[in-house]
Amino acid sequence: MRESARRVAGSQPRLLVSAAAISARVRALGEEISRDYRARAGDGPLVVLGVLRGAFMFVADLVRQIDVPMIVDFVRAGSYGDGRDSSGEVLLELGSWPDLDGRDVLVVEDVVDTGRTLQAILAAARAGNANSIRTVALLRKPGALVELDYVGFDIDRRFVVGYGLDDAGKWRHLPYVGYVEDAGG
């Protein structure tokens, strides 16, 4: 059995952030983002750029709470593969990158650990000549290298799963954020 398969074969993840807490915080973030972008009144719709795959649930829930004209798109990025530790190398797939020239962009991340993935996405968005770029992350861990505009929850350095986040493909479907302890941990 592969190591990643052994890791997830055990017990159900332990609760870290409940579905109710996520729902309430996403609603509050949507209201705050709506206020901020209504005040900007820039040209054209806001481009909401979700980071796949982990942020898909967060993006879906968040955009339903944002009350400004928008275009929703995604970029595939990552540095974890099937492991629990970042490789340090960020892979971006920009094949269907939307036109950002002169647009306001909101990058939506699932979890910001080191921030390297988000830094790479922000650099690509700047190169696309975006008018403004803001960031929102559901979860932020200590020591993140990127300043975020909006944060759902600050958490400790545990490896988290659920609400779109996975461990080698497992646990994305959970309505809450949890953590899986290794055997003996």
- Kindly report the CATH number assigned to the domain that includes residue 70: 3.40.50.2020
- Locate 94 and state its tokens: 């920009």
In a domain, 62, yes or no: yes
In a domain, 60, yes or no: yes
Question: In the chain, how many domains are there?
Answer: 1
pTM of the full predicted structure? 0.85
Q: Which residues are catalytic?
A: 113
Going residue by residue through the chain, which has 185 residues, state the pLDDT in tens, using 9 for 90 and above: 344 444 444 578 999 999 999 999 999 999 999 999 988 756 689 999 999 889 999 999 999 999 999 999 999 876 554 545 544 665 666 656 778 889 999 999 999 998 888 998 999 889 989 999 999 999 999 988 899 999 999 999 999 999 999 998 899 999 999 998 764 44
In a domain, 10, yes or no: no
In a domain, 30, yes or no: yes
In a domain, 176, yes or no: no
Q: What digits encode the pLDDT tens for the residues 143-173?
A: 888 999 999 999 999 999 999 999 988 999 9
Instruction: State which residues form the domain around 49.
Output: 16-171
The pLDDT of residue 168 is: 87
Distance of CA 185 to the CA centre of its chain: 27
In a domain, 137, yes or no: yes
The pLDDT of residue 3 is: 43
Closest residue by Cα to residue 48 from 70, 65, 23, 28: 70
Length of the chain: 185
In a domain, 151, yes or no: yes
In a domain, 106, yes or no: yes
The pLDDT of residue 134 is: 97
